């Protein structure tokens, strides 16, 4: 079984936001209004966390793209009373919408706050609803959602590989964020395979993970910036 993981090279990341947009469009993520956004109800599966260091005029801006970390010891799945979120065999933390009762325990349990709750029935401005991705469910009001590593792409890739009678290769399955990144800062692949690109990058001395001290064992790693 593969263990899907991601490496994000902060040295290459320019903070352009392409991954955020690609993710939003790919996954039919609802658009909430300005007012709701101010209330902290913005819905993003991939977010860019921007931090500023130093005093003007010597300011250093840092960007950190943040998808779901798909932890090997996810705190969110342990609190779900109905099994709507769980860690599957391929290392993806699943979110099964029709099973979700909207209690939002998992949202509270997540130390990196990747989970968002659908406060409303999703709506899109104008004719954007017609541009929804048919491969991805439109989540109803009252369920929690988050990054799925574009699971619908994996489902299709597996089928395509089976039709071509071969094993699934790393390049068959790439989430929308990694695909869209103009500087190729995001790498994606099988972390269980020691020869894969992500496994090699993980051994890079610059590699670090956020939240390792919490024992959650994330499968999203970062390569730190070189000054």
Partner 1 sequence: MKKLILFGPVFLIIVILAVWFIDGMGDVVQPIQYNHFVHVQEEEIECLECHQYAEDYARASIPNIDECADCHDESELEDEEEMTSDEDIIRQEMKRQEKKILFAYMAQNKKIPWRQVNNVPNYAYFSHRRHVKLGGIECVECHGDTGKQTTPIVRPHETRSMAWCMDCHEKENVSNDCYACHH
- Hey, which residues between 45 and 84 contact ligand HEC (CB under 6 A)? 83
User: Whole-angstrom Cα distance, residue 107 to residue 92?
Assistant: 17
Whichever of 8 and 147 has its CB closer to partner 1, that residue is: 147
Which distant-in-sequence residues (6+ apart) come within 8 Å of 70 by Cβ?
4, 5, 87, 91, 92, 93, 147, 149, 218, 219, 220
In sequence order, which ranges of the chain are alpha helices (DSSP H)? 18-26, 34-38, 75-79, 105-109, 151-163, 176-180, 197-202
User: Whole-angstrom Cα distance, residue 31 to residue 41?
Assistant: 10
96 touches ligand HEC (CB under 6 A): yes
Q: Which stretch binds ligand HEC (CB under 6 A): 24-32, 95-103, 142-150, 192-200?
A: 95-103
129 touches ligand HEC (CB under 6 A): no
86 binds, among partner 1, ligand HEC, none (CB under 5 to 8 A by kind): partner 1
What is the closest distance, in whole angstroms, from the C-beta atom of residue 213 to partner 1 in the complex? 29
Q: Say whether 100 sits in a helix, a strand or coil.
A: coil
What is the closest distance, in whole angstroms, from the C-beta atom of residue 155 to partner 1 in the complex? 5
What is the closest distance, in whole angstroms, from the C-beta atom of residue 43 to partner 1 in the complex? 17
What is the closest distance, in whole angstroms, from the C-beta atom of residue 159 to partner 1 in the complex? 5
Query: Residue 63, by phi and psi: left (phi above 0), alpha (psi -120 to 50) or beta?
Result: beta
Residues that bind ligand HEC (CB under 6 A): 83, 96, 98-99, 158, 162
């Amino acid at each position: 079984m593969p263990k899907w993981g991601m490496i994000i090279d902060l040295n290459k990341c320019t903070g352009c936001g392409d991954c955020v947009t690609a993710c939003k469009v790919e996954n039919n993520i609802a658009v909430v209004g300005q007012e709701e956004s101010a209330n902290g109800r913005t819905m993003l599966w991939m977010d860019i966390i921007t931090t500023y260091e130093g005093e003007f005029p010597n300011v250093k801006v840092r960007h950190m793209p943040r998808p779901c970390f798909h932890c090997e010891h996810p705190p969110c799945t342990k609190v779900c009373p109905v099994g709507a979120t769980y860690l599957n065999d391929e290392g993806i933390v699943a979110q099964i919408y029709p099973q979700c009762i909207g209690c939002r325990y998992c949202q509270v349990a997540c130390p990196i706050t990747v989970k968002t709750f659908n406060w409303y029935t999703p709506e899109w401005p104008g004719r954007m609803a017609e541009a929804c991705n048919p491969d991805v469910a439109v989540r109803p009001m009252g369920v929690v959602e988050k990054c799925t590593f574009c699971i619908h792409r994996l489902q299709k890739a597996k089928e395509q590989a089976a039709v071509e009678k071969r094993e699934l290769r790393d390049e068959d399955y790439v989430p929308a964020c990694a695909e869209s990144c103009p500087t190729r800062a995001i790498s994606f692949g099988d972390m269980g395979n020691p020869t894969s690109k992500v496994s090699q990058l993980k051994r890079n001395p610059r590699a670090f993970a956020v939240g390792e001290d919490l024992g959650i064992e994330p499968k999203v790693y970062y390569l730190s910036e070189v000054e």
